[in-house]
């Protein structure tokens, strides 16, 4: 494992707290909910990423935090893509494809599969979205079922709906 200290912080938003996890150099995760709710998921992620999971509570000063604040203040519609993505090549392809979904719009899981040239991998796309380490920044909330339904979302369907309404109003 890489000997690196990892910090966590919480950002209060209109949808409740977001837990941010970062190294001194870069952001690693953004999760809906408090740190105590996300602690085990974060530790599992750090273990898979082969990072020392010695977590310390510290205020994180990273541009993503500023961008999330601007997003909720309705002054930002696109985010800086995180530098570090830990996952399979397939997951990374899916997560990068999310950045091509315009603010305020939605696409289907099938469309995302087509965006990564894997049109039959619809279910796998859903699995990759479920592992998205950057809530809101990699906008998996913009992916919906082929019938228009709001299916699966790690932050809860109610938050998915709130995010979509928020973006459509702005």
Q: Which residues of 97-134 are buried (b: 16+ CB within 10 A; e: fewer)?
A: bbeebeeeebbbbbbbbbbbeeeebbebbbebbebbbb
User: CA-to-CA distance for 84 and 29, rounded, in angstroms?
Assistant: 9
Closest by alpha carbon to 101, among 114, 90, 118, 89?
114
- For the annotated catalytic residues, the residue numbers are 140
């Amino acid at each position: 494992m890489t000997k690196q200290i990892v910090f966590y912080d919480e950002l209060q938003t209109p949808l409740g707290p977001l837990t941010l996890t970062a190294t001194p150099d870069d952001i690693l995760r953004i999760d809906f909910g408090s740190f105590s709710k996300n602690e085990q998921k974060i530790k599992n992620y750090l273990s898979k990423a082969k990072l020392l999971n010695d977590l310390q509570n510290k205020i994180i000063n990273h541009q993503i935090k500023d961008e999330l604040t601007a997003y909720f203040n309705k002054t930002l519609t696109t985010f800086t893509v995180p530098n570090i993505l830990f996952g399979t090549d397939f997951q990374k392809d899916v997560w990068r494809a999310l950045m091509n979904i315009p603010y305020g719009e939605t696409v289907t899981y099938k469309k995302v599969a087509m965006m990564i040239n894997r049109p039959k991998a619809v279910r796998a796309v859903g699995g990759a979205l479920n592992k998205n380490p950057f809530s809101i920044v990699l906008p998996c909330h913009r992916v919906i079922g082929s019938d228009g339904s709001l299916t699966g979302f790690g932050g809860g369907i109610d938050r998915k709906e709130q995010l979509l309404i928020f973006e459509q109003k702005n």
